[in-house]
Amino acid sequence: MDLGIKGKRALVCAASKGLGRGCAMALAEAGVDLVINARGAEALEATASELRGFGVQVTAVAGDITTEAGRAAVLAAAGSVDILVTNAGGPPPGVWLDWSREDFIKALDANMLTPIALMKALLPAMIAQGWGRVVNITSQSVKAPIPQLGLSNAARAGLTGYVGGTARQVAPFGVTINNLLPGIHATDRAVSLDQGVMAARGITMEAAMAERQASIPARRYGTAAEFGATCAFLCSQHAGFIVGQNILLDGGAVNATL
């Protein structure tokens, strides 16, 4: 299927590895020029050169997207874009009683206020040109809380509320905002969560993975490539009527009819 976005420009945040990288790859395959970001310059450059293999222009900006300085550098390099994919690392797991105000502020900054700041900066130009796409990478924890990820549950729920209202305000101008909710995907993040299970329960990594896979009806982890393909579709010409939705990619893990 031709996604109809060849020649558009996208900013994909936190895109040197994992799900962000999957989104950047799928957009590059569709002919979209990219600005990509991550903190570590080496992995970011490696991803940028792979993306250039699709024949698109790629600008890599190293920096922490959750800081004001990091965002300023990324936004300066990006200028105005047609497509924004927001993403950042997720908060650490823990226990509800231990989380301090500081921990919450950090999580809110990373997973709620950063995507909101990026949307505020980039939506006006999309509105002015009458076309734009925003995809926020959130989590299945928005639909079904993951007890040890309370910081993530809280911050992402806040972002989801903001998107619910804002998506309806920008839709009249040809701009869509949607959220993609990953369940367990085979990325570094999944490995570190498996290591947490391994340490907490005194079991092997294989046992921790097998246990988590067994909890997913599809009996496997998702891949960054299939996640990226869904993101690219949401950014495509065909997805203009999908507005303010929260789309689960979880192999059926959230047991709900709707």
Site for ligand NAP in 90-109 (CB under 6 A): 90
Q: Which is nearer to ligand NAP, 139 or 160 (CB)?
A: 139
Least gap, CB of 141 to ligand NAP (angstroms):
7
Say how many residues touch ligand NAP, by CB under 6 A. Answer: 28
Stretch that binds ligand NAP, among 50-58, 134-142, 160-168, 205-213 (CB under 6 A): 134-142
Least gap, CB of 127 to ligand NAP (angstroms):
26
Q: Exactly one of 120, 129, 161, 188 binds ligand NAP (CB under 6 A); which one?
A: 188
Least gap, CB of 167 to ligand NAP (angstroms):
20
Query: Tokens 């092997």 appear where?
Result: 204
Using CB atoms within 10 Å of the CB of residue 43, give its burial: 0 to 12 exposed, 13 to 18 middle, 19+ buried. Answer: middle
- The kind and range of the H/E element at 10 are strand 9-12
Site for ligand NAP contains 71 (CB under 6 A): no
Count how many residues are written for the chain.
258
Structure tokens at 20: 């962000």
> Rounded to an integer, what distance in angstroms lies between the CA atom of residue 224 and that of residue 21?
7
Q: Exactly one of 20, 132, 150, 251 binds ligand NAP (CB under 6 A); which one?
A: 20
Q: Are 182 and 19 in contact (CB under 8 A)?
A: yes
Using CB atoms within 10 Å of the CB of residue 87, give its burial: 0 to 12 exposed, 13 to 18 middle, 19+ buried. Answer: buried
Stretch that binds ligand NAP, among 37-45, 53-61, 165-173, 207-215 (CB under 6 A): 37-45
> Rounded to an integer, what distance in angstroms lies between the CA atom of residue 60 and that of residue 20?
13
Render 114-175 in DSSP notation, one character per residue.
HHHHHHHHHHHHHHHHT-EEEEEE--GGGTS--GGGHHHHHHHHHHHHHHHHHHHHHGGGTE
Site for ligand NAP contains 88 (CB under 6 A): yes
Site for ligand NAP contains 35 (CB under 6 A): no
Site track 47-66 with ligand NAP (rule: CB under 6 A), x = hit: -----------------xxx
Site for ligand NAP in 199-238 (CB under 6 A): none
Provide the binding-site residues for ligand NAP, judged by CB under 6 A.
14, 16-20, 37-40, 43, 64-66, 87-90, 137, 139-140, 182, 184-185, 187-190
